[in-house]
Every structure is written in C-alpha cells, then in structure tokens.
Amino acid sequence: MTTIGFVRHGVTAWNKEGRAQGNTDIPLDEEGIHMAERAATRIQNEEWDVIYTSPLIRAKKTAEIIAQKYPRVDFYEDKRLGEIGGGIIEGTTEEERIAKWGPAWRDLELGFEAEDVIISRGMSFIEEIKKKHLGQRVLVVSHGGFISRLLYALVPDGEFSRDIGNTAITIVELKDDENVCHLYNCMKHLEVKEVR
C-alpha cells in the first residue's frame, strides 16, 4: 500500500487576478512563498519518503520550501505533474474570455489539453509510483486542475470540488481493491495565527 500526499502550489499574482495559468510558468508571489512555508511547517513532523514536483516554477518552489524540512529525502521533478494545458486562454481572465469568445467559450476548440490525455499522464505517474515506492509515503506537489482530475480517477466515488485551494493537502491511500481519500483539500495550516 502506497500513500500519496498531494499539495497544490502556493498562490501567484495570476491566481489573485483570476488569470488562467495552465502551462504558463508564473512564479509564486510573496504570499505564495509564505503559504508554502506554512504548509512545510505543518507537515514537517510527518514521515514522507520521497518528494515529486511539477517542473513549473510555482510548484517547484513550493516543493523546494517543503523539501528544506526533509534534507535526507529524495526530490524529483516529473513533467507529468504539470498543470492542464489551457491553450489560448492562458493569461486571460473570465471577463476577457467572455468578451473575446462569448459566454460559451468552454465549448469552443481553444487548444485545451484533452481530458483523456490529462488522466493518462496522471495515471502513468501513479502506476510508476506504486511500483517504485511500494509501501512508502510519497509527497506530490502539483496544480489544482490536475490534482482535482486525478482525484476523480483515483477515487471515482469521491465527492470532490474542482476547486483545490492553494497549498491544500489531500491524502490518498492507494490500495489494490479501492483507493481511499483520508484528507481532502485541507488548509488548516493557513488558519493558524502567527505570533510576530
């Protein structure tokens, strides 16, 4: 049995502006770095055997901040963990998309990464992890759209929102018969008041 802890990256300026990021390589802003530090502090006493991250800078920086708490843990980048490709909507807000393509823009062919391709690359990663890290605890730092779709593939009967919060932690136990989600979209580390 392998356990996977999914962590979404910290917040970016584009997140705050409501801009679609997709594969555009947008860095964390100052608050995003702070959020990653809070997530790292939260999980620092948990046992994680290996860390994998999307190579996109917002996820990679979040993973690097977490990895500082785990100096003896192996750290890998894997392009299969990248965010869903947003085609030509990347960099735009909802308002801009409606102005340009109309309210039914989601139904248009705008170069979005196909759902089956997203699931295929995600499950390819999961199957490899199950073989390489059998019985281990694997921390995966990735993106909201990708994590939410992969969760539905892993736990089809789960009741999940498409909205994964920045630095939210989700834990899934991979079993032979049925995968189990033990923690979903948890951001309690952001609720803790800091003493300055």
Catalytic residues: 9, 83
Rounded Cα distance, 163 and 140, in Å? 17
Short-list 55, 7, 62, 57, CA closest to 27: 57
Rounded Cα distance, 141 and 146, in Å? 11
Q: How many CB atoms lie within 10 A of CB 99?
A: 11
Rounded Cα distance, 69 and 58, in Å? 18
Structure tokens at 57: 């800078």
- Binding site for substrate, by residue number, is 8-15, 58
